[in-house]
Amino acid sequence: MTDQVLIADDGAVRVIRINRPEKKNALTQPMYAAMTRALREAAAAPHIHCIMLAGAPGAFCAGADIGEFLESAQSGALRPRTVEFLHALARNGKPLVAAVGGLAVGIGTTMLLHCDYVVAATTATLATPFSRLGLIPEAGSSLLAPMRMGHARAFALLVMGRPLSAAAAKEAGLVNEVVDAAAVDEVALAAAQEIAALPPGAVAVSRALLRGALDDVVSRIDTETMHFRERLQSDEARAAFAAFLSRKK
């Protein structure tokens, strides 16, 4: 496991912590791979009843690493470990709790749609600037977001790129609790332990019924991935990334 993803078990709770604070927890390919392994290992471990995703104070996940993302834009290829992570996230059969201590951008926001209980800091912000980069939503979010928050709110978030405050995300149904930043991990872990203490078989069946057809989510991820690859090679995306690079200089 890379030290940029920390894995620890707290009783029946597997904690997967993104640990790259100097880059606001932007995800690299090794980090995607480490998170995929952690999810799959937790799924196969009978003593693990719940999984908690966490970041660092001030940043849950700032999305994909910009260097790798620019390379993908130039090559027109979405890297395979990213897709593997999205499949592992969607197929994960155990309850997911997220501790969002701050910024959540791109995949940092869309992965929350796969979570069953989300605790966010009062200072947290959720954003998905896909269209501004000439791209489209991913992680099954084009299916899950309208189901969770309705078409109007999903369109504003995923297409218009309007960010959500923690309070607005709670109102929209993406977040369960909003607490002080210092309490995010504690409150999220307490929720995960509460879930883990329930009869796991009953929880698993109930969760599967609530989530609906898993094949539809996986199929939507694959469809989004196809369009995402196409968009990476589009003139719109190339112009957006060129403008981004010029601002960085």
Secondary structure percentages of the chain, helix, strand, coil, to 5: 55, 20, 25
The per-residue b/e assignment along 48-74, b for 16 or more CB within 10 angstroms, e otherwise, is bbbbbbbbbeebbbbbbbeebbeebbe
In the block, residue with structure tokens 């719940």 = 50
Residue ranges of the chain with per-residue pLDDT less than 50: 1
Cβ 188 vs Cβ 119: under 8 Å: yes
pLDDT, residue 113, reads 97
pLDDT, residue 1, reads 46
pLDDT, residue 249, reads 55
**215 closest CA partner among 135, 147, 125, 143:** 143
Q: Which domains does the chain have, with CATH numbers?
A: 5-183+196-200 (3.90.226.10)
pLDDT, residue 205, reads 96
Q: What are 225-247's pLDDT values in tens digits?
A: 999 888 888 888 888 877 876 77
pLDDT, residue 145, reads 97
